[in-house]
Structure 1
Amino acid sequence: MISTQSILPKHYYDLLTFEQELSRVFEQNWIFVGFKEHLSKNNDFITITIGNTPVVVQNFNGQISALLNICSHRKATLQRDVRGNRPLRCPYHCWSYKSDGVLAGVPQNRTDFGLDEAAKKHLALKQFTVDICGELIFVRVAARGPSLIEFLGPYFSILQRVSTDFTEQVQEGSFLWNTNWKIACETVLEVYHVAGVHPETFANFAKAECEIENFNGHTTGNTPLQDATHKWWAGARKHLKTNQHSDFKEYNHFFIYPNLAIGLTNGSLMSLQTYDPIDPTHTKLNYQLKMISKPNDRVISEAVKTAINLNFTQFNHTILEEDRVIAESCQKNMPHCNVPGLLGKCEDRIRHFHNAWRLDLNELLEGL
């Protein structure tokens, strides 16, 4: 038999599995948190929950630090917005912190607390490892582990290049999916479902075939585009006065374990998505659309740009909505099944994803 077994259905809704995933999958691996452009100025910050850990990634006069987003005083959240610009100062009692997490200021310290420098260091925020690949910022909560370049392997140079080549912001947003984060990831890891889920959209966009590469749970899926798609994008680039990427000219899709997906369309558009677990049956899907960088000397009509951007932002929304519907259907049925699904050769990217997941959980859960 060519096919292999998927993971057991219970691991898509079981609370124990989910709790293990938060600590063993998300807190042990490097997680994408945002773009360098979001931390370009002093006091710029990004907040994210990685596994069970609330993290703030902040610019301290050019130094990027990742710290626990909880004040040491009375445990209030330090930065409450997803992104913003303000000093790392608690909104409750105004305790402030330095780039290494050590206390910088405590109001009324001399009269009410008496904290010396040693005590301030003892109350320092927990610090996490942060690293950058091109324009992408990653954080690892675990104290020990591979470096980012070791973790990404051959994908480090790929992400470094595409993140610096695709920088023209088009759209960003998020959706709530009523499904486990693994099912959400699986919707982008094969083209076998295209005829059933996307007969009027993606089926007319790309061919239902895929050349697969893999490294430690990270995978590539290269899918040839339809002739009509090549023609449309050639026209779009002409109107937008941009050049096609020299290396990626079909639909080139990269998945970085555990939850980052990057799709490149005809060397012109980058779609970056993350699948953030909320609970065993809910996922927040975040997306960013970016065009390939335009030469600085080229001026284009804003009306033309808006019209073209609207075309592919609507297409992106339609594809995601079609995937959401089928993913939520699968999630609804998982509690009624106890036999694992089958993965055909055309679904090998999911097999690599599952193998990395099994390795992280280290076979601790019964029935893996």
Structure 2
Amino acid sequence: MLSRLSPAHYLDQEIFARERTRLFRKLWLFAALRTALAEPDAFATRELGGLPVLLQNCDGEIRAFENLCPHRQMPLQKEAFGQARMACPYHGWVFDTEGKVKTIPHEQRLYAYSANERKDLCLKRYAVREVGNLVFVNLDADPLPFDEQFSPELQRTLADITSHFGVQAVHADLPARYNWKLNYENVLDYNHVPYIHPKTFQPLLREGISDARQGLPAAGGADGQALSVAARRDHLAAQSFWTRSPIRIEPWPWHDAVQRYGDGDFYYNFFLYPNVNFISLGGLTFLLQQFHPLAPDRTEVRFTLCAARETRRLPALPAILWGHLKSEVAVLHEDLAHLEALQSHLHDAAPRAQHGQYEDRLQSAAAAYLRLMEEGKP
């Protein structure tokens, strides 16, 4: 069957601009780990939907604001992560936990704002939703109900697995020269593994591959419980799901020092629409990959990796995490080379992809995407 998406959906600047307004400024987007924001005044900064976003621990509650001072549009926080009060570094304005201006140095002498003018001196605030250790942000003034994007069942599973996250995490951002949708489609496409990753990921699969599906995540819910294509197209929430597959995990001494998730050596794979792939190897390590759109042919792949919560102190944990992240980046580089080649050879007159039956998840995601793009709502 022909793909629902044309080459223009991966090439056109106007379509890309519409994606920002109708997808990324309407849907809930993963923004940070809750563990990174645990301390008072801890913050994280991100660009989401083309907008600068500040997540700040405000007296124990995570709140999200536009990271722009209303005075001269200077970002309040410039680092990716840190711990500091919300104060503008340019002219010293300080904001309270509601995002309202608290103090302005030499206010009466230099600014002379009226009472009405001062009332409007506040940071734009965004909706926040926490699911376990995952923090999501919605940029819309009238946010989509969270349950319409992520089912309550999926939320419960996410809360359970992410409750095992350790405090330490490592991060990396990798630039790529392809459209963000290609990477999301790639993680939905289990059939590429034996061809693109024969020496890295494929050997980990406990059952091996004698056909396209054996030993790999099936299309559906937990353990391959399938949903009909029609049902997936009808519900935005059905675009986000998880699978579990047997996997080979080499035992290491540090495994006995953490509280792992689950009951065995499984590969847990969560697809969080529109642009996050969250995986866990045996409930021991946890990786979030976010495919952040920069341009029609540019994506930033954001990696966040942590281990399961320590039951005793592991001095070598930072080195362990960086080692695992290096391996994950190596796997992505194998995908990256092919996806960049795919992107570079696309052109306006190129034919649409010819999907097979196993690619029903790609058809389903495309149907949800087109509905959002055309109507601006699920």
TM-score range, shorter chain: 0.7 to 0.9
User: What pairs with 1:220-259 in structure 2 (closer than 5 Å)?
Assistant: 220-225=242-247, 229-230=248-249, 232=250, 235-236=251-252, 240-242=256-258, 244-246=260-262, 249-259=265-275
2:373 paired residue among 356, 361, 365: 361
Moved more, 245-254 or 175-184: 245-254
Provide, for residues 265-311 of structure 1, a one-character-per-residue CA deviation record: whole Å limited to 9, x for no partner.
2232211111111111111111122222232xx466x56x6886576
Quickly say closer, same or farther: Cα 1:4–1:243, change in 2 above 3 A. farther
Letter in 1 for 2:87: R
Distance 1:319 1:309 in 2: 16
2:293 paired residue among 271, 277, 283: 277
Match in the other structure for 2:104? 106
Provide, for residues 131-177 of structure 1, a one-character-per-residue CA deviation record: whole Å limited to 9, x for no partner.
21111111101021333344311211111111111326463212111
Match in the other structure for 1:65? 63
Match in the other structure for 1:123? 121
Identity of aligned residues (%): 26
Does the 8 A contact of 1:171 with 1:290 survive in 2?
yes
Q: Does 1:213 align with 2:213?
A: no
Distance 2:41 2:115 in 1: 24
Does the 8 A contact of 1:58 with 1:64 survive in 2?
yes
User: What pairs with 1:44-193 in structure 2 (closer than 5 Å)?
Assistant: 44-153=42-151, 154-167=153-166, 169=168, 171-193=170-192
Q: For residue 52 of structure 1, report the CA deviation from its aligned partner.
A: 2.8
Q: TM-score, normalised by structure 1?
A: 0.87
Paired residue total: 352
Match in the other structure for 2:30? 32
Does the 8 A contact of 2:67 with 2:77 survive in 1?
yes
Moved more, 319-328 or 57-66: 57-66
Distance 2:354 2:163 in 1: 38
Does the 8 A contact of 2:305 with 2:321 survive in 1?
no
Does the 8 A contact of 2:35 with 2:167 survive in 1?
no
Query: Aligned Cα RMSD in Å?
Result: 2.4
Distance 1:90 1:192 in 2: 50
Does the 8 A contact of 2:161 with 2:261 survive in 1?
no
Does the 8 A contact of 1:217 with 1:352 survive in 2?
yes
Q: Does 1:324 align with 2:336?
A: yes
Does the 8 A contact of 1:12 with 1:281 survive in 2?
yes
Structure 1 segments (4+ residues) deviating >3 Å: 168-171, 221-224, 237-244, 305-314
Does the 8 A contact of 1:192 with 1:347 survive in 2?
no
Q: TM-score, normalised by structure 2?
A: 0.85
The unaligned stretches of length 5 or more in structure 2 are: 222-236
Quickly say closer, same or farther: Cα 1:247–1:147, change in 2 above 3 A. farther
Does the 8 A contact of 1:39 with 1:58 survive in 2?
yes
Does the 8 A contact of 1:166 with 1:290 survive in 2?
yes
Does the 8 A contact of 1:22 with 1:50 survive in 2?
no
Does the 8 A contact of 2:168 with 2:318 survive in 1?
no
Distance 2:26 2:264 in 1: 31
Distance 1:171 1:76 in 2: 27
Does the 8 A contact of 2:4 with 2:367 survive in 1?
no
Quickly say closer, same or farther: Cα 1:213–1:48, change in 2 above 3 A. same
Quickly say closer, same or farther: Cα 1:241–1:258, change in 2 above 3 A. same
Quickly say closer, same or farther: Cα 1:281–1:152, change in 2 above 3 A. same
Distance 2:169 2:66 in 1: 31
User: What pairs with 1:2-17 in structure 2 (closer than 5 Å)?
Assistant: 3-17=1-15
Does the 8 A contact of 1:217 with 1:355 survive in 2?
no
Letter in 1 for 2:219: I
Distance 1:170 1:90 in 2: 28
SS in structure 2 at match of 1:349: helix
The unaligned stretches of length 5 or more in structure 1 are: none
Does the 8 A contact of 2:306 with 2:321 survive in 1?
no
